[in-house]
Amino acid sequence: MTNTETSLHGGDWKEKLALILGVMRDISRLNDPQDVVRAYAEAMRHLRPVGRRISLSRRDLKYPQFRVTRSTTWTEEINPWRDRDRLPLLSGGLLARLIYGNETVLIDDMTLEADEPALEYLTGFRSLLAIPMFDQGESVNMVVLLEEEPNAFPSEQVPELVLRSNLFGRATGNLVVKEELRLAYQALDRELRIVGDIQRSLLPSELPKIPTLDLAAHYQPSQRAGGDYYDFFELPGNQWGIFVADVSGHGPGSVGVVESGGSGDG
């Protein structure tokens, strides 16, 4: 497949716009980053088809190591967020220099060394466009576009491709963070439920019968767990001790009794 066979570049702008709007509507309904990437990749296949597209990551790695996170040559889809251990881990070579270089690189006539670690991904291609995907100012991820012919990437298109790729990368990254926060909140909520259950189990299951004193208690924490505690202790001589405590601060990590006391005669 060549660029001229399916590319909408330079064609009817209304057709191109309709495709983009359709993709944006579809993406707006998605919450899974993997689904978003899949939809975006399908759109790019029509808007800017290339001979090969690979994605790289150096997150949590040190030079010269990097991972291949996606490739149009793969027959099986791998979710890089959930199946990181299945991603190819490479070291050194052209792609390592590119992703650690923090720059957009355009190679119009590429030649490869015989010992190139990524030879299986790069062999047969003459043109390469490396687009850094920035996170905190570093190209933690990178998209590499490849074409068989030399001089296949018009230089005037490069700025738009870099902008588009990075905006999409940030949007996808936000979805990843959103999902991580959702899972973290669920885990915290489960822990707080357990804390609340334990706390309520420590309270008196029923109030004591004191002939000369009417007792009533209502316990309602503002969240899953609260900082209040009470109990009753029968003492010698028909005396009763009433213990009321309030834990300082807020949240499950709060410690220290700041208020306690109370007694009643039976």
- Judgement on whether residues 213 and 244 belong to the same structural domain of the protein: yes
Rounded to the nearest 10 degrees, how much is the dihedral formed by the CA atoms of 155, 37, 27, 51? 40
- Judgement on whether residues 163 and 221 belong to the same structural domain of the protein: no
- Judgement on whether residues 220 and 119 belong to the same structural domain of the protein: no
pLDDT digit string, tens, across residues 128-182 = 999 999 988 899 999 999 999 999 999 998 998 888 888 878 778 777 777 788 8
- Judgement on whether residues 103 and 152 belong to the same structural domain of the protein: yes
CA neighbor of 162 nearest in space, from 172, 174, 170:
170
When pLDDT is averaged across residues 44-57 and rounded to a whole number, the result is 85
Kindly indicate the confidence band of residue 248, based on its pLDDT and cuts at 50, 70 and 90.
low
- Judgement on whether residues 207 and 175 belong to the same structural domain of the protein: no
Return the pLDDT at 85. 92
- Judgement on whether residues 208 and 100 belong to the same structural domain of the protein: no
* Domain assignment present for 193: no
Contact 56, 141 (CB under 8 A): yes
Three-class SS of residue 15? Answer: helix
Return the pLDDT at 218. 83
* Domain assignment present for 18: yes
Percent of the chain exceeding pLDDT 70 equals 88
Contact 47, 3 (CB under 8 A): no
Side-chain half-sphere CA neighbours of 42 within 13 A: 12
- Judgement on whether residues 54 and 149 belong to the same structural domain of the protein: yes
Read off the tokens for 77. Answer: 């889809």
Phi, psi angle pair for 189, to nearest 5°: -65, -40
- Mean pLDDT, all residues of the chain: 83
* Domain assignment present for 189: no
* Domain assignment present for 195: no
Supply the pTM of this predicted model: 0.66
Return the pLDDT at 28. 84
Triad 93, 141, 161: Cα angle to 5°: 100
User: Quick one: how many helices (H) and strands (E) in the chain?
Assistant: 6, 10
* Domain assignment present for 130: yes
- Judgement on whether residues 71 and 132 belong to the same structural domain of the protein: yes
CA 160 to chain centre: 25
Higher pLDDT, 2 or 245: 245
- How many separate domains does the chain show? 2
When pLDDT is averaged across residues 187-196 and rounded to a whole number, the result is 84
**Structural domain of 76:** 3-179
Higher pLDDT, 86 or 201: 86
* Domain assignment present for 174: yes
Tell me the C-alpha distance between 254 and 20, whole Å.
52
CA neighbor of 145 nearest in space, from 168, 161, 160, 156:
161
Report how far apart, in Å, the C-alpha atoms of 67 and of each of 20, 50, 260 are: 30, 21, 58
73 pLDDT exceeds 50?
A: yes
* Domain assignment present for 185: no
Contact 61, 140 (CB under 8 A): no
- Judgement on whether residues 115 and 226 belong to the same structural domain of the protein: no
- Judgement on whether residues 82 and 209 belong to the same structural domain of the protein: no
Return the pLDDT at 29. 85
- Judgement on whether residues 130 and 228 belong to the same structural domain of the protein: no
Residue 120 belongs to a domain with what CATH number?
3.30.450.40
241 pLDDT exceeds 60?
A: yes
- Judgement on whether residues 83 and 156 belong to the same structural domain of the protein: yes
* Domain assignment present for 187: no
12 pLDDT exceeds 80?
A: no
Return the pLDDT at 251. 56
Contact 7, 49 (CB under 8 A): yes
